[in-house]
Amino acid sequence: MEHSSEDPRVIDPASQGYTGARHLEVHFEIASQCGLDCRHCSSESGSEGEPVRLDAESIARFAESLGSGLGLYISLTGGEPLTSGQFLQVSQALRRVGSICRMGFFTSGCIVTEAGMRRAIDHTSALRLREAGIDFCYISLYSHLGAVHDWVTRVPGSHECSLRSIAALLEIGIDARVHFVPLQQNQSDVGETISFLDQMRVPEVRFLRLVKHGRARRQWQLIGLSRHEQAALLREAVRTVDESGLSIEISAAGFPELMDCRPLGQGRLCQAGISLLYVDRDGRVFPCACKKRDERFCLGIVGESEILRKVRSVRREHNLKCLQDA
Ligand code: SF4
């Protein structure tokens, strides 16, 4: 399943606001809390949460320093970034950074309030996000079936919330896409899930490889799929799109031998540390989220004098393997 630049499943960088400069994706972890309790969560995010030391000004300064000659694609992540008291502050601070092409966030689409109420992103909050400069988001959805999704998140009603959030975001023009994690419970009807999302006019489903970290390690017998089984599901999703003539695009993180890992079309195979950086809640910079708890991969800390030299010292065009397999 080698992809060429003409392959319609590869997202066209021009349609993503890509300007022709070399691009760099940077993910900033601005929250550790999350109201859901997903069985596979590698961050083990929960309602308590750890302190977040990364603040809006250091995020904007770091983004600015990475800037020149690069088109930046920023994603705010967590935990659930929408529970961060500084979400709007961070996006406002980032708006002054000239080299940013697009700004987005990763969310469950289901906010659980302190009183335990579930809340979707409604029309008004979606408009507020757009005004804050948000262009895109990826919402986690584990099945078209509410029972399966809610079993994974362990929050009844979370599926309905996530669907309402997707609809509200798409309606006001935020480019809402889906993150999907292959699990034992959603493998048998992956085709139906893809078709369902295509009908909702979701432009892309991005497969995130399930890794044996955090909660997933403890739940592995119950939910885990081998790398080979996950790759087979990814192939099946692509086949569904091809055979049914769907317009939804399939991308994947963590399977560079099947599909270039980053969705912006320029970088080949694994782009960890090359066109991708992950900054954790303590400001530590890693080549990719999949190695965010592994000190051996830490490139340095936002704000330290050597960080840019360390980041730029990565001169490769690509890594052959996902860092999870290296
Ligand atoms: S290490 Fe590379 S292939 Fe693996 S998820 Fe990160 S960018 Fe993708």
**Residue 59 phi/psi, 5° resolution?**
-65, -50
Which residue type sits at 219? Q
The count of structural domains within the chain is: 1
pLDDT for res 4: 39
Residue 12 falls inside a structural domain? no
pLDDT for res 10: 41
In sequence order, the 6+-apart residues with CB closer than 8 A to the CB of 82 are 31, 105, 107, 111, 121
Closest listed residue to residue 63, CA positions, set 259, 285, 296: 285
Residue 14 falls inside a structural domain? no
Residue 2 falls inside a structural domain? no
**Residue 313 pLDDT more than 60?**
yes
Cα(287) to centroid(ligand 1), Å: 9
Ligand 1 pocket test target in 255, 259, 270, 297 with most atoms within 8 Å of CB:
270
pTM over 0.85: yes
Residue 143 falls inside a structural domain? yes
Answer yes or no: is the C-beta of 252 below 6 A from any ligand 1 atom: no
| From 58-72, 157-171, 196-210, 214-228, the region with the lowest mean pLDDT | 58-72
Binning pLDDT at 50, 70 and 90, where does residue 44 land? confident
Residue 319 falls inside a structural domain? no
Closest residue CA from atom 5 of ligand 1: 254
**Residue 8 pLDDT more than 80?**
no
Residue 324 falls inside a structural domain? no
Residue 153 falls inside a structural domain? yes
Structural domain of residue 58, as residue ranges?
21-312
Range 35-49 average pLDDT: 85
Paired residues of 104 in beta bridges? 75, 136
Answer yes or no: is the C-beta of 216 below 6 A from any ligand 1 atom: no
Return d(Cα 311, Cα 183) in angstroms, integer: 34
Atom index in ligand 1 nearest the CA of residue 288 equals: 6
Answer yes or no: is the C-beta of 256 below 6 A from any ligand 1 atom: yes
Helix (H, G, I), strand (E, B) or coil at 25: strand
Comparing 127 with 20, the larger pLDDT belongs to 127
Binning pLDDT at 50, 70 and 90, where does residue 11 land? very low
**Residue 61 pLDDT more than 50?**
yes
Answer yes or no: is the C-beta of 322 below 6 A from any ligand 1 atom: yes
Which residue type sits at 56? A
Paired residues of 76 in beta bridges? 28, 105
Atom index in ligand 1 nearest the CA of residue 269 equals: 3
Answer yes or no: is the C-beta of 141 below 6 A from any ligand 1 atom: no
Atom index in ligand 1 nearest the CA of residue 271 equals: 7
Tell me the percentage of the chain whose pLDDT exceeds 90: 72
pLDDT for res 265: 65
pLDDT for res 1: 36
Answer yes or no: is the C-beta of 193 below 6 A from any ligand 1 atom: no
The reply to whether omega before 79 is within 30° of 0 (cis) is: yes
**How do 70-77 and 22-29 pair as beta strands?**
parallel
- 104: domain CATH number? 3.20.20.70
| From 63-72, 169-178, 289-298, 311-320, the region with the lowest mean pLDDT | 311-320
Residue 9 falls inside a structural domain? no
Ligand 1 pocket test target in 290, 319, 320 with most atoms within 8 Å of CB:
290
